Amino acid sequence: MTKLRDRLTAADIRGAWAIIPTPATDDASDWRASNTVDVDETARAVDALVEAGIDGILSLGTLGETATLTWDEKRTFITTMVEAAAGRVPVFAGTSSLSTRETIRQTREASDLGVDGTMIGPPMWNRPDTATAAQFFRDVAEAVPEISICVYANPGVFKFGFSPTFWAQVADIPQVVMAKTAGAATYLRDLEASAGRIRLMPIDAEFYSAARIDPDSAVAFWSSSASCGPAPAIALRERVAEAKRTGDWTLARRLNDQIGAAVLPTIAYGDMDTFQTHNIALEKGRMNVAGFLRAGPHRPPHHLVPDHIAELGRLGGEAWAALQEEYQEYAASVTRAEVRIGDR
């Protein structure tokens, strides 16, 4: 398969990136099921996101159920995703595992299947220290030099704090071009630690804040909400770009506030322990309700969903679907502020 280009750089990472689930077949909650990837829905969803104007795709993270998929299922999903994207936007597939060797094995195969990059965090069976985490990224980069790397900076999942010392060390690795971060609270600190050599990507709900902190560097963000409907994420990209040009942040701030309110049910109204416990059910639940794509049932062992979690998923899905409806016409009509990498 043909990749978008040989290897992306931090300068190439711009715009609104969708984080997608791994669409599941109807029997996916049964531990006996062996091929649980809904191939048709994967292809349809990827094409729909690209056609809507999303700038890149991240996959096989927590809500992508990377920990509960077999490698055969990952291979099927990656192949389908790459074929559907067809070089129109960059595609990253997560290859995190419990060891350096297994991560390298999966990353090599994902590269052979045509992804432009991988999204990985350090092995987390034991809590890694900074030297261990940084060496892990060096080893993956050395083993798969053609791959672009997104640091999956999720402290809760990887038992690691992603300190300024860590960012300073991995910034010296050419393959490390971007990082999926949680928010804007440490944005400037981490930007300075990495000397601006890594594209720090906050979540959509924090992109406005990051852009106010440093407009020049804050040019990309990630959005799992885009899998509930991409229009608000595309509108956010445009509103912030317009605000940078004009100095008037009124519309960008309004949309930021709307996005923040819409995701509140998904993050259990700030109860992060509940969110981290039921992340998959909350995210996939709201996607199924919002209706842009069919995430399908949850894979075991995360298929037991308490009623109050299902209710939060419903509320989150309905809230985002309302935003999607409000911004769909605008998102469809705007002139893209950034030219896609593949069109350069």
**Does residue 341 fall inside a structural domain?**
no
Q: Is 152 a catalytic residue?
A: yes
For every residue of 131-167, DSSP letters joined together read: HHHHHHHHHHHHHSTT-EEEEE--HHHHT----HHHH
If pLDDT is split at 50, 70 and 90, which confidence band does 184 have?
confident
CA distances from 213 to 130, 156, 232, 244 (A): 27, 25, 21, 12
Total domains in the chain come to 1
Partner residues linked to 59 by β-bridges = 93
What is the pairing mode between strands 91-94 and 220-223?
unpaired
Task: Spell out the residues 6+ positions from residue 178 whose beta carbon is closer than 8 angstroms to its own.
Answer: 10, 13, 117, 148, 149, 150, 151, 198, 199, 200, 201, 220
d(CA 86, CA 342): 10
Catalytic residue among 3, 74, 152, 327: 152
* pLDDT tens digit sequence for 82-131: 999 999 999 999 999 999 999 999 999 999 999 999 999 999 999 999 99
DSSP 37: B
Question: Mapping DSSP to helix (H, G, I), strand (E, B) and coil, where does residue 113 land?
Answer: helix
In a domain, 36, yes or no: yes
What does the mean pLDDT of the chain come to?
95
Q: Is residue 303 part of a domain?
A: yes
For residue 4, tell me if it sits in a domain.
no
**pLDDT for the residue 344:** 29
To the query of whether residue 327 is one of the catalytic residues in this protein, the response is no
Task: Single out the catalytic residue among 3, 74, 180, 284.
Answer: 180
Residue 169's CATH number:
3.20.20.70
Residues 6+ apart with CB under 8 A from 205: 183, 256, 259, 260, 263
Confidence of residue 5 (pLDDT cuts 50, 70, 90): low
Residue 340 domain-assigned (yes or no): no
Q: Give me the pLDDT at residue 340, please.
A: 41
CA distances from 83 to 46, 76, 91, 312 (A): 9, 11, 10, 34
Query: Are 57 and 92 in contact, with CB atoms under 8 Å apart?
Result: yes
- Tell me the residue ranges of DSSP E strands in the chain: 15-19, 56-59, 91-94, 117-120, 148-152, 176-180, 199-201, 220-223
> Using an 8 Å Cβ cutoff, are 268 and 298 in contact?
no
> How many CB atoms within 10 Å of residue 249?
17
Residue 1 lies in a domain: no
CA dihedral (174, 180, 185, 190) in degrees, to 10, reads: -10
pLDDT at 337 over 90: no
Segment 286-301, tens digit of pLDDT: 999 999 999 999 999 9
Cα-based distances in Å from 127 to 80, 96, 254: 34, 15, 40
8 Å CB contact between 132 and 95: no
Residue 343: the pLDDT is 38
Residue range of the domain that includes 90: 10-334
For residue 344, being part of any structural domain is answered with: no
Q: Would 343 be classed as within a structural domain?
A: no
Q: CB within 8 A of 190, min separation 6: which ones?
A: 162, 164, 167, 179, 181, 200
What's the number of CA atoms in the CB half-sphere (13 Å) around residue 111? 20
Each residue's pLDDT tens digit, 210-219: 999 999 999 9
